[in-house]
Structure 1
Amino acid sequence: MAAIDQQQILRALSTVQEPDLKKDLVTLGMIRNVSLTPEGDVSFTVVLTTPACPLKEEIKQACIEAVRREVPEVGAVSVTMEAQVTTGCSHGHQQGDGHAHGEGHECSGEGCGAHDKPLPGVKNIIAVASGKGGVGKSTVAVNLAVSLAESGAKVGLIDADLYGPSIPTMFGLHSEKPVMEGKKIQPLEKYGVKLMSIGFLIETDQAVIWRGPMASSAIKQFITDVDWGELDYLVFDLPPGTGDIQLTLVQTIPVTGAVIVTTPQEVALADVSKAVSMFAKVQVPILGLIENMSWYELPDGSKDFIFGRKGGERFAKAQGLSFLGAVPIESGVGECGDSGTPCVIGRQDSASAKALKAAAMEAARRVSIANASCGGEERGHGCGSGCGCGN
C-alpha cells in the first residue's frame, strides 16, 4: 500500500465546502492537527467558531466521506470537533469619529472609541429586545443564554430591565447577593451562566424609581464594574421599547447583533418595527427574529393559533430579517421560569425547549456570519453555519 501523506488528506478535505461562505474548509483554516499512522489511519481536528454550530455533525460526516472518497486506501478516519468563538466588528459603539470600529479597523487617532474597551474579555455581545412588553423576551433571553452555555460556550447574562427584573426568579436566585473582590463585583453563576441583575441588589418588593440618567448609570456599572472575565457571549435582556437603556448599551459597548422577540399579533408587530428601526439607526445588525407564543397544541394534536398565524415569520420576511424560529405556548415554560429552572433544562423534550435551543444555535450561527462579514475572511477567519477556523 502506497504511503499516505498530509497533502492528500488536505486535498480531500478541500472538497468540503463551508455552506454559508461557499469556500472549502482548508482555505478557511478550519482543519488542524492532521496526523497519520504507519497503518494508514488518519486523524484531524475541525475547529468551529462556535460550539453551538447547528451543522456540526453534518460537517463532520462530510469530512469523513471526503477523505474516504478521495483517498480510498485510508484506514480509520478520526475527526475531533472543537470550537474557538470568533469576534468581529464593533457595531453601534459610536465614539470618536462616529463610526463603528472592530478588529482591524482603520484608527482615526485620538478619541477613537476602539481604544476604549470596557469589556476586553468579551468576544460577542447579543442584545435581546422587543418592541413591547409581555412577549416573553426574558424567557427567550434566559433560555438562549443557557442553551449557549450548555453547548460549551462561556456565557454571561445581564438583566437590563431595571424596572422589572426577571432573572433572579427565572434562575431561582432570590436571596443570593453578589460580593466585591477588589474593585469589581463578582457576578452570580448558575447553569454555567454568569449573571447580573438589579434584582440581586435590592429587596424583592422594592421598586426602582429612577429617571433615565440613573438607569443609564446603573447599566454602565453592570458593564464596567462587574468582573465578567473571558466570555464568548454576553447576552443583554433589554427592557421593552427604544429608550435610554437601549441607547446607553449601544453607545457604551460594541454590540455584535440583536435578537428581536415578538408574538404573532399585529399589535406586537407594530412595536417590533420600531425596535428594528432603532437598531438600524444605531448601526446594530439584527441577528434574527423569534416568534414566541406561536400556537397552542390541542389534545387532538391540532394547533390553535391564538394570536394569529405566522405574523412574526411574515414580518421577518418582509423586513429581510432571518427568522430564528417559532416557539409554541406551553404551560411548562412558565412553570419552569417560576421555579428557577429554564425550560431547556427543566423540560428538555418539550416543543418549546427544542425550539428555543434551535433558535440559540441559529443565533450563534448568525453571530459567526456577522463576524466574517466584518473582515473575518480577510483575517483568515471562516465562519458561517456557526463554523470557521476559530482564529
Structure 2
Amino acid sequence: MSLENSIEEALKSVQYPGYSRDIVSFGLVKNIAAANGSASIALELTTHNPDIAAQLKAAVEAAAATVDGIERAMVQIKMPPAGQAPAAAGAQPNRMPGIDKVVAVASGKGGVGKSTCAVNLACALAQDGGEIGLLDCDIYGPSVPLMMGVNERPMVSEEEKLVPLLNHGVKLMSMGFLLDGDQPVIWRGPMIMKTIQQFVMQVDWG
C-alpha cells in the first residue's frame, strides 16, 4: 500500500464535526501527496465556519502523523467565500425541471425511519390530490423499492431521461431500481453527489 493510500485510510478515522461519517466518505479530501516524510493534504469544505476548519485541520494532522513514514503533515483547507455576490439583474435561480416544491427528509444518523417517513408523507400527499415524486437518495441501502412494492427497471424516454416508476400515485426513483439484487455500491462522495444530481435533473419528473 502506498503512503498516500495509508494516509487516506488514516483519515477515515476523522469524523466531520456533528456527524457520524468521516471526511473521506463525505468527499472532502481532494488531494493527498507524500514524500520525504512529509504529507500534503488538501480539503475542500462547504462551511464558512472557521472553528470547524481549525478542528478538522488539527484532526487531520494528528491522523496523518499515525502513518509510518510520515513525520509532518501540511493541511490546506479551501472554504467558500464568506459572502456570495448578488445575482445579476433579471437572473433566475436554478430550478429543477418539472419540480415545483421540494420536501427533504434527512438525518445524520441511520436507522431512524427516514425512508418510512418519506414514503408515508409521499403517499399521504398523493392521496390528497398532489402530483408527487419520491427520490430515494440512499445510495448504499435503498429501501424505498421494497416499501413501495416496486422492483422494476425504469425505462428511458425519447428525451433520454429516466422515466420514474409509479405506485400508489407516487412517481419513484431509487438506486435500488438500477441494481441487481443485493449488489453492493462502493462509491465515494463525488460519485454519490453526481448520481443524486442526475436523479434530480435527468429523470422525467414532470
How high is the TM-score relative to the length of structure 2? 0.56
Q: For the Cα contact (< 8 Å) 2:97–2:205, is it kept in 1?
A: no
Q: CA deviation at 1:121?
A: 2.5
Give runs of ≥4 in structure 1 deviating > 3 Å. 110-113
Q: Cα distance 1:111–1:165, how it changes in 2: closer, same or farther (>3 A)?
A: farther
CA–CA separation in structure 2 for the residues paired with 1:113 and 1:137: 32
Which secondary structure state, in structure 2, belongs to the residue aligned with residue 125 of structure 1?
coil
- The residue number in structure 2 matching 1:193 is 170
Q: Which letter maps to 1:147?
A: A
- The residue number in structure 2 matching 1:85 is none
What are the equivalent positions in structure 2 for 1:119-158 lying under 5 Å apart? 119-158=96-135
- The residue number in structure 1 matching 2:58 is none
- The residue number in structure 1 matching 2:88 is 109
Q: % of aligned pairs identical?
A: 52
Which secondary structure state, in structure 1, belongs to the residue aligned with residue 102 of structure 2?
strand
CA–CA separation in structure 2 for the residues paired with 1:198 and 1:108: 35
CA–CA separation in structure 2 for the residues paired with 1:98 and 1:141: 32
Are positions 1:177 and 2:158 aligned together? no
Q: CA deviation at 1:123?
A: 1.4
Which secondary structure state, in structure 2, belongs to the residue aligned with residue 123 of structure 1?
coil
CA–CA separation in structure 2 for the residues paired with 1:160 and 1:178: 16
CA deviation string 1:101-136 (max 9, x = no partner): xxxxxx82289561x32x233111010012311111
CA–CA separation in structure 1 for the residues paired with 2:138 and 2:153: 18
* Structure number with larger C-alpha Rg: 1
Which secondary structure state, in structure 2, belongs to the residue aligned with residue 219 of structure 1?
helix
Are positions 1:209 and 2:186 aligned together? yes
CA–CA separation in structure 1 for the residues paired with 2:109 and 2:196: 20
Q: Which letter maps to 1:225?
A: Q
Q: For the Cα contact (< 8 Å) 2:97–2:201, is it kept in 1?
A: no
Q: For the Cα contact (< 8 Å) 2:142–2:174, is it kept in 1?
A: yes
- The residue number in structure 2 matching 1:160 is 137
Q: CA deviation at 1:173?
A: 1.3
- The residue number in structure 1 matching 2:196 is 219
Q: CA deviation at 1:177?
A: 0.6
Q: Cα distance 1:223–1:110, how it changes in 2: closer, same or farther (>3 A)?
A: farther
Q: CA deviation at 1:98?
A: 3.5
CA–CA separation in structure 2 for the residues paired with 1:167 and 1:124: 20
Q: For the Cα contact (< 8 Å) 2:131–2:170, is it kept in 1?
A: yes
Structure with greater helix percent: 1
Give unmatched runs, 5+ long, in structure 2: 1-79
- Structure of higher RCO (CA pairs closer than 8 Å, 6+ residues apart): 1
CA deviation string 1:205-240 (max 9, x = no partner): 1001001111011001101110000xxxxxxxxxxx
- The residue number in structure 1 matching 2:38 is none
CA deviation string 1:44-98 (max 9, x = no partner): xxxxxxxxxxxxxxxxxxxxxxxxxxxxxxxxxxxxxxxxxxxxxxxxxx9xx84
Q: For the Cα contact (< 8 Å) 2:133–2:171, is it kept in 1?
A: yes
- The residue number in structure 1 matching 2:35 is none
Q: CA deviation at 1:163?
A: 0.5
CA–CA separation in structure 2 for the residues paired with 1:165 and 1:98: 35
The alignment yields a C-alpha RMSD, in angstroms, of 2.2
CA–CA separation in structure 2 for the residues paired with 1:172 and 1:213: 30
